[in-house]
A and B are shown apart, each in its own frame.
Chain A
Amino acid sequence: MSVKAEDAFQEFWRLNVSKVGVLFLAILVILSIYVVTSYPLDFGVRYWNNPSYWADYPKSAPPSWVNYFSDRKLPEHYVFSLDKPSNILPTESGKVLLYTFKLDFQADKPPTFLSFTLENVTYYSQPLIVKLDVKRPDEKSIELYRFVVPAPYLNESPPYRRFYDQPKRISLTGDMTVASTLARFLLREYNVSMKPSEINSIGQHTVIFSVPNQNKQFNVLKGEYWFTLSIETYDNRDYVGRVKLVVGGDVYGFMGTDSLGRDLSIGLLFGFPIALFIGIVTSTITTLFGAGLGIVSGYIGGRLDEVIQRTADFVNNIPLLPLLIFLAFILGQNIWVLVFLLVAFGWPTLTIVVRSMVLQLKSGQFIEAAIALGAPRWWIMFKHIFPQVAPFIFAQLIFFTPTFILLEAALSFLGLGDPTIPTWGQILEYGFRSGGIYVGLWWWIIPPGLLIIWTAVTFVLIALGMEPVVNPRLRRMK
């Protein structure tokens, strides 16, 4: 049974399943390390479960590569962000900061929304005046929006700082003033008469990006759009930190977004270290705890053995998931509680098996020799028995890992996941609860499941590869 580590590894490495399994594991580990080093620790609370962070993302957008498979091109998502003005025009009293954005729009559908954002604005004398204009491919220009930065409050002295804590986001979509502007524009240019409320319901962005016919049907206008944001300042020290223009797409990124606009690729990536953590940590603790109890139970025997075995029998005899649900529900949804519960219910199988192995080893000559030499019990257990069962325990550790990954996913899917830590199970749960499957949001449903399966399969493959090493009878048969 005790195999030399080197031989054991060679035996393991001979099989293809082992190689694929190790390759998969390496990818999982690399991705996890990337996430752990680049994501903030409070990612779940600060970003993932914070809807305002995702306001400028398209909602329920499929991944952008779907455009390769369809004739009708869906609009991409564009985010333009400038720290410095593209141009500065001097005026009598100050200057005008010009921020120009060029968009080459070639999709067959108008964008899904239009918004712009101002960050970190400081002024000293008069409030700044912000203006947004667009020049379309057909050379028609529209002054879309006009906005004055909030004036000084009573008793406020300069500099007047605005939009530092909370950036000012202005959504043109849904804005009735913009709708009125556009209504005038349509009447003037196309002789199409529409009420602002009508425009609001088809979307301001739709009107901006298309040409109407007399039946009030809008056809997308392809070509170059120039958006200009001009900010009029009255003091040389006046300052604008950042300006952002977002043209909402219908497709987003590599993995798409969910119904809150969350970028699924970010959430799914975050799932890697969590799945590995829950799987490996839980499995390791469970295995060590279970095996330790098994060794003690088998070696010490007597009353202690009886107690451990009865308990193991009992825990083994209860339906796991209902009780896990109960406990997670009553004790609260916290990742450490979850790990604790999984360990508390996972150990018995191993304890029972290890105990029977130890009973066999106990009668071995080298153990009797060690006892005869007067070695203490803990020494024999640690130095003589543990190394004998270690390969088996290690194999079990690998073998148990997918079970825990799947259990965590199942609990998360039932809404009992730790809300501060997004996991694949939780992403699926939200996709299910918010009806994503009923409207066919496949990019939201399929990837998290596949990732869960992939991670679990990785460990199954490694476990398969280890089988001939730990079970020498099998090796001889081959």
Chain B
Amino acid sequence: MGLARTLTMRAITLIAVLILVVFFMVIILGATGTSDKILQAMVNEEVMMLRQSLAKTIKDPQELERVINIRRQELMEFYGLTKPWYIRLPDMAWRVLTLDLGKARTLKTFAGGNKVSDIVMERLANTIILVTSSTVISAVIGLILGVRIATRVGGILDRISSYFSAISYAIPTWWIGIILILVFAFFFRLFPFGGLYSTPPPTDPFMRFLDMLWHAVLPVTTLTIASVGVWIYTTRTIVLNTAQEDFVNAARARGLPEELVRNRYIIRVAAPPILTNVILGLATSISGAILTETVFNWPGLGRLFYDSILVMDEVVVIALTYIFTLVYVVARFLLEVLYVILDPRVRY
């Protein structure tokens, strides 16, 4: 009832965000002539393939050119290149939404393919692994320390953590990564410089998994350092504010044991506002992931972003912008489902 309706409303809002972002992108692409370029490349690709196949059957060069030109005209028509860019906005938007963006210029899948959707999709999992594990680790550390610090406000740990979170606001995530590489990979040779597996990767699946863990240590640490300060600080502040609420005192007056008061009357009540902070920080974690993957050559979407910028592969940049928005929207929706479950007050 209320729950379903609330969630439907959130889903609609987020889908609207996604569609608006895609339209915004497509307008920019159209207005700058980039979409023309992309479609033209797709036409050229098909024309080239046609030429190769026709060259065997049609021997007369003039006849060949004529046939190809007719076909080219048809293709231009089909892709809407004969019409101005604003007419084919919806068509281009649909292309982006379905990742129907043709082939990447230089980037390839691990197997060597060059279809944009394949390149992007095979890396999605690596990004999710990285972001999720670092978020879970930061959350666990942040919640445990934050709750503990809330009971000892003004103590040394409290002061350290508040300075740390203020400073971590001023430290670029990716620079932390670079420093970790310099210290732990270059000077101490404890961890690899980057990548997902050693070369060559171990063949035994378990060893392969361990190898990946070993490669994940530094990037996950980087993301954790970047976000744990905020976790600790917000948890501390929210728990502290909640602990001063009347109902906490009232629960104690009812003779409820302290542990129950802490878990059910403080932490449980503090959970939704803490989660709100996580939702607000989601965009930041995505940015952090893009940069951290780049630094550690982690073969996820973020590193792909960097590579595509480096080789100027605009179709991949477009696909990635869309995919990141999609990932954000989905992650946000999942967190909001959790939020609505945790906080009855936001249900309609």
A: residues with CB less than 8 A from B are 314, 317-323, 325-327, 329-331, 402, 406, 409-410, 413-416, 428, 432-433, 437-440, 442, 445-446, 449, 452-453, 456-457, 459-460, 464
B286, A317: Cβ atoms closer than 8 Å: no
Give min CB distance, A60 to chain B, whole Å. 14
Contact with A along B14-39 (1 / 0, CB 8 A): 10010011000100110010100000
Judged by a CB distance under 8 angstroms, whether B290 is at the interface is: yes
- B187's partner among A319, A409, A440, A446 (CB-CB below 8 A) is A440
Contact with A along B317-343 (1 / 0, CB 8 A): 110110011001000100000000000
Assess A449 versus B309: contact at CB under 8 Å? Given A438-B193, A460-B167. no
Q: How far is the CA of A121 from the CA of B187 in the complex (A)?
A: 50
| In the complex, chain A residues whose CB is within 8 Å of the CB of B193 | 437-438
Judged by a CB distance under 8 angstroms, whether B166 is at the interface is: yes
A319, B324: Cβ atoms closer than 8 Å: yes
- A318's partner among B21, B174, B181, B309 (CB-CB below 8 A) is B21
Which of chain A's residues has its CB closest to B309's CB?
A415
Assess A428 versus B178: contact at CB under 8 Å? Given A460-B169, A464-B166. yes
Q: How far is the CA of A456 from the CA of B173 in the complex (A)?
A: 13
Give min CB distance, B116 to chain A, whole Å. 14
B: residues with CB less than 8 A from A are 13-14, 17, 20-21, 25, 28-29, 32, 34, 166-167, 169-172, 174-175, 178-179, 181-182, 186-187, 193, 282-283, 286-287, 290-291, 294-295, 305-306, 309-310, 314, 317-318, 320-321, 324-325, 328, 332
| In the complex, chain B residues whose CB is within 8 Å of the CB of A453 | 167, 170-172, 175
B167, A318: Cβ atoms closer than 8 Å: no
| In the complex, chain A residues whose CB is within 8 Å of the CB of B186 | 437-440
A457, B182: Cβ atoms closer than 8 Å: no
A322, B310: Cβ atoms closer than 8 Å: no
A314, B17: Cβ atoms closer than 8 Å: yes
The secondary structure that dominates the A interface is helix
How many inter-chain contacts with C-beta < 8 Å in the A-B complex?
126
Assess A318 versus B325: contact at CB under 8 Å? Given A410-B291, A460-B170. yes
Sample of 29 A–B contacts (CB below 8 Å): A314-B17, A317-B332, A318-B17, A318-B21, A319-B324, A321-B283, A322-B287, A322-B290, A322-B321, A322-B325, A325-B317, A330-B32, A402-B169, A406-B170, A409-B172, A413-B174, A413-B294, A414-B294, A414-B309, A415-B306, A416-B309, A432-B295, A440-B182, A440-B187, A442-B182, A446-B179, A453-B171, A453-B172, A464-B166
- A406's partner among B25, B172, B328 (CB-CB below 8 A) is B172
A325, B17: Cβ atoms closer than 8 Å: no
Which of chain A's residues has its CB closest to B317's CB?
A329
B321, A323: Cβ atoms closer than 8 Å: yes
Give min CB distance, B322 to chain A, whole Å. 9
Which of chain B's residues has its CB closest to A323's CB?
B321
Which of chain B's residues has its CB closest to A321's CB?
B287
| In the complex, chain B residues whose CB is within 8 Å of the CB of A413 | 172, 174, 291, 294
